C-alpha cells in the first residue's frame, strides 16, 4: 500500500472539496473512519473528510448507491468484506520509486549483505521482507542490490517477501512492469542488466525474470497475524507506520523485533521514529536504520535462521497462520 500493509511510501492525502461528490455527514464519516482504522490502522481525522468524499464517490457510482449512509451500511455488514478491501484501496495513495532513500541500500550492500551472503554460501537461510511494498519498486531495489553482491543468490536459500494490504498494488508489483520514465534515474548499467523493454509496450520496461523469481508477493495486513515460519534478517517498513496512531505504532514495533532473527536489521522511513517503549528493542546503526537488540548471531551468519528454526511465540506470533482477507489461509517461509 499503502499504509497498513502497507507500504513503501503509501500515504493518505487530502483532496480538494472541488472534486466532492455526495455529501458526507459527520456521523457517517466517523463510522467510516472507525471502520478504516479497524481494518487497516489508517487514521482519518476530520481534515480527511474531503478525501473520503472524493475517493469513495467513485465506489458509490460503481455500486449504484445514492449516498454514503448506504455505502457505510454495506461495508459494515458481514457480506461487505470484498467492498471493504476496495474501500481501503481507494483511500490509499502509493508514493514510491526505485532506490528511494538510497542510503539504506548502501548500508545494506556494504555492511549487512556480506555476512549474510557468507551464511547463504555455507548452506544457511536468508530472508528479507519489504513490508508495505506498494507497487514493487522497493523489493525490486532489494533484489538488484542483492544480486549485484551475490549473482548466484537464486541458487541458494535466499528469498525476499514483499507484502501490502492492497491487492491491486500487489498485482502491479507481481507483473514487474513499469513506465520507462520511472526507471530513468537508475544508472545505465543497472538498467541494461535488469530492465528489458516490453515488446508489446515500447514505453514500458519489465524486470529481468531471474530477479523476479527471488521475490514472493503476498497480500498482508500488518494488523493481522503474520504467516511466517521463520524470522527475517532484514525488514524494510518505510513510510508506513507514520500513518498509524500511537497505540498501533506501539503494537507494531515489538512485532517487528520478534519477527527479526538475532542481529536482524530494520529500516524505517525518513519521517518515522521508534516510540520510547520500543527503544530497548533496537539499537541505532544509521539514519533510520536499526538492529535488533540483545544477543546477536555469530558474524559468519549475521542474522540467518536455520531451515527448521521457528520463532518463539509472541503476542501475536509471527508464526501464526492467519486467514487472508479472502478467507484463504496461506503461509510463507
Quick one: the chain helix, strand, coil %, rounded to 5? 40, 20, 40
Gap between the Cα atoms of 287 and 284, Å rounded: 8
Q: What digits encode the pLDDT tens for the residues 180-199?
A: 999 988 999 999 999 999 99
Average pLDDT over residues 250-268: 96
Q: Are 292 and 260 in contact (CB under 8 A)?
A: yes
Question: Which residues does 191 contact at the CB level (< 8 Å), separation at least 6?
Answer: 183, 205
Q: Which domains are seen in the chain, by residue range?
A: 10-94 (1.10.155.10), 102-292 (3.40.50.150)
pLDDT single digits (tens) 141-150: 999 999 999 9
Query: Rounded to a whole number, what is the distance in angstroms from the first to the last CA of the chain?
Result: 22
Closest by alpha carbon to 119, among 297, 332, 333? 297
Reported as a pLDDT band with limits 50, 70 and 90, residue 9 is very low
Residues contacting residue 131 through CB under 8 Å, at least 6 positions apart: 5, 6, 7, 163, 220, 222, 235, 236, 237, 240, 256
Residues facing residue 228 across a β-bridge: 332
Amino acid 310: pLDDT? 33
**Tens-digit pLDDT profile for residues 85-126:** 889 888 877 778 999 999 999 999 999 999 999 999 999 999
User: pLDDT averaged over the chain?
Assistant: 84
H/E segment holding residue 210: helix 209-212
Question: Is 164 one of the annotated active-site residues of the chain?
Answer: yes
Give percent of the chain above pLDDT 90: 62
Kindly name the residue from 59, 164, 166, 238 that is annotated as catalytic.
164
> Per-residue pLDDT for 202 more than 50?
yes
> Strand 158-164 vs strand 177-179: parallel, antiparallel, or unpaired?
unpaired
- Which residues on neighbouring strands pair with residue 265, listed in sequence order? 234, 291
pLDDT of residue 333: 52
Q: Round to whole Å and give the CA distance between 80 and 289.
A: 39
CB 241 within 8 A of CB 268: yes
Question: What local confidence, expressed as pLDDT, does residue 296 receive?
Answer: 61
Tell me the pLDDT tens digit for each residue of 65-79: 999 999 999 999 999
Give CA–CA dist 303/125, Å, rounded.
Answer: 9
CA distance 17 to 182: 30
* From 55, 159, 231, 291, active-site residue: 55
The DSSP code for 279 is G
With a pLDDT cut of 70, the percent of the chain lying above it is 82
Confidence of residue 157 (pLDDT cuts 50, 70, 90): very high
Is the pTM for the entire model greater than 0.85? no
* 330 has a pLDDT exceeding 70: no
For residues 138 and 104, what is the distance between their CA atoms, to the nearest angstrom?
11
Cβ atoms of 136 and 173 closer than 8 Å: yes
Residues 6 or more apart in contact with residue 193 via CB below 8 angstroms: 208
Q: What is the pLDDT of residues 296-310, one digit of tens each?
A: 654 434 433 333 333
Active-site residue, 31 included: no
Name 268's bridge partners.
237
Amino acid at each position: 500500500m499503502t499504509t497498513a500493509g502497507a507500504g513503501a511510501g503509501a500515504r493518505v492525502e487530502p483532496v480538494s472539496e472541488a472534486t466532492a461528490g455526495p455529501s458526507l455527514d459527520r456521523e457517517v464519516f466517523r463510522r467510516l473512519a472507525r471502520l478504516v482504522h479497524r481494518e487497516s490502522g489508517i487514521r482519518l481525522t476530520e481534515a480527511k473528510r474531503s478525501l473520503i468524499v472524493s475517493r469513495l464517490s467513485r465506489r458509490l457510482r460503481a455500486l449504484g448507491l445514492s449516498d454514503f449512509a448506504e455505502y457505510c451500511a454495506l461495508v459494515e455488514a458481514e457480506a461487505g468484506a470484498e467492498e471493504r478491501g476496495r474501500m481501503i484501496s481507494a483511500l490509499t495513495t502509493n508514493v514510491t520509486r526505485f532506490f528511494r532513500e538510497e542510503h539504506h541500500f548502501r548500508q545494506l550492500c556494504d555492511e549487512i549483505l556480506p555476512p549474510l551472503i557468507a551464511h547463504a554460501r555455507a548452506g544457511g537461510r536468508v530472508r528479507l521482507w519489504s513490508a508495505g511494498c506498494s507497487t514493487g519498486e522497493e523489493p525490486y531495489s532489494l533484489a538488484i542490490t542483492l544480486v549485484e553482491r551475490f549473482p548466484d543468490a537464486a541458487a541458494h536459500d535466499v528469498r525476499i517477501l514483499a507484502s501490502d494490504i492492497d491487492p491491486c498494488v500487489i498485482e502491479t508489483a507481481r507483473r514487474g512492469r513499469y513506465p520507462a520514465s520511472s526507471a530513468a534515474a537508475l544508472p545505465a548499467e543497472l538498467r541494461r542488466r535488469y530492465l528489458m523493454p516490453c515488446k508489446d509496450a515500447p514505453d514500458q520496461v519489465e524486470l529481468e525474470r531471474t530477479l523476479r523469481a527471488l521475490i514472493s508477493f503476498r497480500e498482508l495486513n500488518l494488523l493481522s497475524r503474520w504467516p511466517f515460519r521463520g524470522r527475517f534478517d532484514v525488514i524494510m517498513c518505510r513510510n508506513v507506520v507514520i500513518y498509524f496512531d500511537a497505540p498501533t505504532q506501539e503494537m507494531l514495533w515489538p512485532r517487528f523485533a520478534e519477527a527479526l532473527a538475532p542481529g536482524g536489521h530494520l529500516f524505517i522511513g525518513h519521517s518515522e521514529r521508534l516510540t520510547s517503549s520500543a527503544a530497548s528493542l533496537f539499537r541505532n546503526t544509521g539514519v533510520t536504520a536499526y538492529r535488533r537488540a540483545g544477543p546477536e548471531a555469530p558474524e559468519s551468519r549475521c542474522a540467518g535462521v536455520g531451515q527448521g528454526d521457528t520463532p518463539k511465540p509472541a503476542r501475536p506470533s509471527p508464526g501464526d497462520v492467519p486467514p487472508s482477507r479472502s478467507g484463504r489461509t496461506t503461509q510463507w517461509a
